[in-house]
Structure 1
């Protein structure tokens, strides 16, 4: 079984495909763009990234393999685990190529670096669209001829009389409009000032008396304490699985809750939530030792 082929199929339909105990491949929509240097137009596509923190299985990959291979969910999960072990051993020695998806390598700090391939477009809406190269467009500059003829000072001694009269008339009309507008504005300001003074006199002369005041009511409002620190139990592709996980944890005695949907489209579930960071860290260590080593701390301000 080639695990990369199944991941490749799911990336066309889903925004996130998680490989249990290894990491998740996340896609982000990218609009059409133009390379100004090469004059190549690229269609809309999905940009693939790798997140090594997404290790908790959401069942998507195992369910798809079980359905495609006509095997049980347990056998599909076992096959995934064997492939992951092989990947982890191979990446320690050389770059790991995941089919047509990309290449994974380890840096000096032991962290995984992902380099996606660009020859495959996982956006189904852009199926059949390819990059198009266009030749550079030349835009010649046209010489604009002036509307008013230029007067040659050497050949003509003066400007024609009708041009002088037209310019003088335009200046007089402009000054007339400006003077009229200023006069109307002054008139409006005087009217508004008189109205404001009259309104102030009415307000000063008016008195307001309330004969039967309403009784005051005292309300005791309890202040809700914010709990920004959460011990995360997992992130799920489907909201139904997240709800089942919350019910399971509550039966085990945890104050479990759904934290919402993160930027990868996964629904996060918490064992407990705390207002104090130290309490949250202590609870995290306790859960990692006794319940789940994959639990982690999430801070939401």
Structure 2
């Protein structure tokens, strides 16, 4: 009879399994372990130990054998006694015995029992399926030293950020105010001065617009539903004298610019497609106007009725 098999079966369910007349095998739950030297992780398990002083028969092992072998309790006790006698005989003759999947029991110089458990079996059922895991070492310190060395060779120099100037807007406001005074007062209503102020206003607004274009050069719009390409159309609104434009969108891909152009046509607008700007982006306009006031009024109407993101571009198109 394989006594070690029945002891192993009971160790999965109980913390103590006593072999009458020989000793008791005890288990203790050990939490997960990390061995830093080998970079190994071990799951929780039951540690098995042996106590030769617990020899009284508690009936656990004998009952289990009797039920498994379909025999009486008394016969099972007798079988255990025979197995214990065999183990003691081997210990006296060879100095050690091996109990499969449990451990090795040997005698030291003082004839005391010395137990060495086997680690191949984990008797903790909650850790079923978990195995040891070896992980490569994380070289945090090595990488940190390399980064520090690079920083010493190439120190980071912080350059103060240049503040953007709002002088252009101030000048534009001044010229617009001057134009209003000329129109309403009539005292300085000379056409020469009116044209001169309009030219200066356009020049300042054009510079301001260049700053705006730099901020939107990376803007992208994603449209999922494709439409067929349309032919570039430059209408009468795109004359060189009309420097004020209401922009519907600016795209990195011509495909999306064509799609918006077609959508605006379907809505009744007369859109304008411009050639790619210096950043390679394709503008689509609601329309172009010869005066700032007309363009502003059209933009505000479009913001209310169709596109809150519409904006004005001031640029002479040639």
Higher helix share: 2
User: TM-score when scaled to structure 2?
Assistant: 0.45
Highest relative contact order (Cα 8 Å, sep 6+), 1 or 2? 1
> Based on CA coordinates, which of the two structures has the bigger radius of gyration?
2
Q: TM-score, normalised by structure 1?
A: 0.48
